[in-house]
Structure formats: C-alpha cells, structure tokens
Amino acid sequence: MNMTELQADKTFERSGVNGKLKVVLHDISGTLLRTLGTIERRGYDYRDVHCTQRVDGDFDLLVHIEDLGGPRNLDTLCKQLERLYNVVSAEKVGRRKHAEHAY
C-alpha cells in the first residue's frame, strides 16, 4: 500500500450533519480547549464559537459545528463531550419544528 492509498483510507465523507451545541463548562481555561479539541477529533469543524459567563459562575459555550466525517448523530458527540472533566452538560440546540395547522 502506498501513501496515497493510506491517506484515502483515512479520508471521511461528509454526512451533511451540522448544527449548534450548547455546552455548560465549570472552568473555562483547559475545559474550553479540551471541548473544542474533542469536537475536531470526532470529525467536526467549529464555525462559530460564543462563550458567556453565567450568574452561577459556569460558562455557556455555543458552538456551530459542521461535519467533516464525524459521528452521524450529534447525540453521540454530546455524550462524548459530557465525559470531559469540568463539562456539566452538552446538548443540541436550534430550531424546533412547528406543528402545521390544518384549515
């Protein structure tokens, strides 16, 4: 096997999965880097990152992600993020489908 074939084996196809995640962090310093690093290592790219401190001292991290070959399900990524030290919670956020009204 030559180098090109090895690289082709490691290339992932995009699944088209993208969305926003809300991650609550206890500590911002190392936890932010671990969180963003985990997102990248799981096959996603973050397009927009917004972090604010809450009244209770924790931090809300909103991340818009785009699939680069990661898990097909964002719930799996959220579970992986919740296992990180000082991550309180991780969940998908975004638009909810509105019920259609019958007339």
How far is C-alpha 91 from the chain's CA centre? 9
Nearest Cα to 56, choosing from 78, 82, 24, 92? 24
The 10s digit of each residue's pLDDT in 15-55 is: 566 789 999 999 888 899 999 999 999 888 888 999 999 99
| CATH code for the structural domain at 13-93 | 3.30.70.260
Answer whether 0.95 is exceeded by the pTM: no
* Nearest-angstrom CA–CA distance, 64 and 21: 7
Residue 103 pLDDT greater than 50, yes or no: no
12 CB contacts (<8 Å, ≥6 apart)?
43, 68, 69, 70
